[in-house]
Amino acid sequence: MAALETRHPALLRANQTALLVVDVQEAFRPAIDRFDEMVHNCRILIEGFRTLGAPIIVSEQYPKGLGHTVSELTGVLPEATPVVEKLRFSVVGVPELDAAITGSGLRRWVVCGIEAHVCVNQSVHDMLAAGHEVVLAADAISSRTPLNRRIGIDKCVAAGAVVSSTETVLFEMLEQAGSDQFKAISRLVR
């Protein structure tokens, strides 16, 4: 007889969840509100997903003009992580990103990055429209102004996304203490 499943279906599981890092690029550094804090939390998510063996995809908006993903993040990305350039604000509709998202085989995505009211907003809406579940790591999302950040997050939630935080995401995916993964993630969030 199989064990009774008691976890709520809204709780994240490591084998069912992927991470999308949206446009955390060098040119945004001086313009984004609380940029360093947002990058710090994106880094924790990346390292946590890497520890749990969960897929990660990274997008870059027009890197010729905006630079590439910041070194704080590229330095911790797993070797085979897709880092895909785009001109669209949404990640959906960019063939290489569509292929990476589909190729993951997963329907539940944690999203972090910038800007909340532009690329994150449009990506989340399009992912929801495509049948994905989206969880916003709100402490790893920002915009140039706090108001635009709030508007972007509120709009995504109204469309069906769920708000969470970096630590909540990772500890849901862990499910329990006592493992080497738990120890590694606990060190990340200290």
Residue carrying the six token digits 């996304």: 161
CB atoms within 10 A of CB 74: 14
Q: Break the chain down into helix, strand, coil percent, rounded to 5.
A: 45, 20, 35
Mean pLDDT over 13-33 rounds to 97
How sure is the predictor about 66, in pLDDT bands with cuts at 50, 70 and 90?
very high
Q: What is the pLDDT of residue 29?
A: 97
The CATH fold assigned to 14-189 is Rossmann fold (3.40.50)
Hey, which residues are catalytic here? Answer: 23, 86, 119
**Whether the Cβ atoms of residue 174 and residue 182 lie closer than 8 Å to each other:** yes
Task: Give residue 6's pLDDT.
Answer: 84
Whether 117 shows a pLDDT value over 80: the answer reads yes
Burial 145-176 (b: 16+ CB within 10 A, else e): eeebbeebbebbeeeebeebebbbbbbbbbee
Please report, rounded to a whole number, the percentage of residues in the chain having pLDDT higher than 90: 96
Phi, psi of 163 (to 5 degrees): -90, 135
Q: What does the pLDDT look like over 118-140, one tens digit per residue?
A: 999 999 999 999 999 999 999 99
| 60: confidence class by pLDDT, cuts 50, 70, 90 | very high
Nearest-5° Cα angle at 30, 94 to 139: 65
Residue 11 pLDDT greater than 80, yes or no: yes
Q: State the pLDDT at residue 135.
A: 98
